[in-house]
Amino acid sequence: MATPTNTTLTVLLGEYGFTHRSLADEVDRVSGRIFGRPGAATDRDVRRWISGTVRWPTGRYLLPLAEIFDRPPEAMGFVPRGRTSRLPAPPSSVRPGQEEPVKRRAFLTASTAATLTLALRLEETPVRGRLTMADIDRMTTTIGRLDAHFTAIGGGALPTVATTYIDRLRETADYYTYGPRVEQALHRALSGLHSSAGWAAYDSGDNATSRLHHAAALQSGVLAKDGHAQARAWSDLSLQYRAEGRHREALTINRAALQTRHARQDPRIAALLHSRLGDHSACARALLAAQKAHDRFDTTARPPPWLRFLDAAEIAGLAAIAHRATGRLPDAEKATAQALHLLGPSTHRNRAYYGIQLAQLQLAQGDTTSAKATAATVDTAAVSSPRIAQRLATVHRHLATAQETP
């Protein structure tokens, strides 16, 4: 059986402008700083990573690669040797503050909450003294890494890690001194962190905790006087309620959020809210409005970190969820297939999520043959999501039952 090529790493080399030789040189440079001695990577090593001959490099290479590309190993196309592969922490001689000020060590995937906490460097969050906007920027960067981890491979140990970080920031809020501007920024950061924690909890199958986090995100957004944070929280609550089958509440929340000034002025928020509307009587109009809002995106300006996931693939995926909620299964199947076609190579969680959804839709329409073929293509090796694993197991169980039925 041929070893699959690491196409994700190939794409990253192109995006960052690396040749095989220049990437090896950069790995050696970063390795020297992390481990205190020069690295030994060559262009041959890079070719072996790309060809798939080496599917999980040693920590001496993996830690530098994670820093260079600022993402967890699975999001670079690497596959753990077993169910999980624990990354070693950098040597204890490497202390916070010794790294380059602009490019910090990436948020690294790990098999335990303790290692994830180390990777997020929660211990660097101050709890005494005077809080500045520079401190807020560091918090925001940390939350962005948490979001990137979730988008790439799923929740995994993130609920515990996010809750730990929330407690840390609450302690910061209690014991620090700061002015009104910093206070609002701190509440904005807490709102984003609660939103991230909410989706991590949902991914782990804990709906009650997820709902509490989304409500807390809304409260922090109000305290921050930040319309974007509030729109995000309303949108998350709407999708949460719909996932729980509470469609009327979801619709009421989403309609109210669409009337806010930020939804009217920011096409990204408008696209997000319209695509999550799920109104039986106006589904087509809502999805058309979402597509029109997407067409108005300012591609020259970087969106907020939490909205970077909202691309053409996600719009198609959200449309599929809306179609499914309103009973339009053929339309949902078509939109799900489109989302899978548009997804980037590093979005392992979403690819597995929509792959399973496609199989479920095919099963619901009685197309067992297509559902079986689709389920066979779902790859969860690089995904850490109890909810996704449970959904895939359910699909396989239904397929087995369907095959046994005469």
pLDDT of residue 114: 55
Regarding whether 236 and 338 lie in a shared domain, the answer is no
Q: Is residue 87 part of a domain?
A: no
Q: Is residue 190 part of a domain?
A: yes
pTM of the model: 0.61
Q: What is the CA radius of gyration of the chain?
A: 22
Regarding whether 293 and 203 lie in a shared domain, the answer is no
Please give the Cα distance from 109 to 182 (Å, whole number): 31
Q: Is residue 280 part of a domain?
A: yes
Regarding whether 386 and 297 lie in a shared domain, the answer is no
- Quick check: 238 and 276 in contact, CB under 8 A? yes
Which stretches of 140-295 are assigned E, i.e. beta strand?
Answer: 176-177
Regarding whether 205 and 252 lie in a shared domain, the answer is no
Regarding whether 111 and 193 lie in a shared domain, the answer is yes
pLDDT of residue 99: 40
Regarding whether 127 and 214 lie in a shared domain, the answer is yes
- Quick check: 54 and 48 in contact, CB under 8 A? yes
Q: Is residue 86 part of a domain?
A: no
pLDDT of residue 278: 55
pLDDT of residue 1: 54
Regarding whether 178 and 163 lie in a shared domain, the answer is yes
Q: Is residue 278 part of a domain?
A: yes
The tally of domains found in the chain comes to: 4
Q: Is residue 243 part of a domain?
A: yes
Regarding whether 139 and 71 lie in a shared domain, the answer is no
Please give the Cα distance from 284 to 151 (Å, whole number): 27
Regarding whether 339 and 295 lie in a shared domain, the answer is no
**Mean pLDDT split into 10-residue runs, the chain, 406 residues:** 78 78 86 79 92 88 82 80 55 42 34 52 61 84 77 72 84 81 91 89 86 92 88 84 80 77 72 64 61 68 70 82 82 92 83 93 94 91 82 90 64
103: left (phi over 0), alpha (psi -120 to 50) or beta: beta
Regarding whether 354 and 305 lie in a shared domain, the answer is no
pLDDT of residue 357: 94
Please give the Cα distance from 142 to 158 (Å, whole number): 13
- Quick check: 77 and 345 in contact, CB under 8 A? yes
Specify the CATH number for the domain of residue 23: 1.10.260.40
Output the six-digit token pair for 168.
Answer: 């840390």
- Quick check: 319 and 290 in contact, CB under 8 A? yes
Owning domain of residue 299: 226-310
Regarding whether 273 and 208 lie in a shared domain, the answer is no
Regarding whether 112 and 52 lie in a shared domain, the answer is no
Give the three-state DSSP class for 130.
Answer: strand
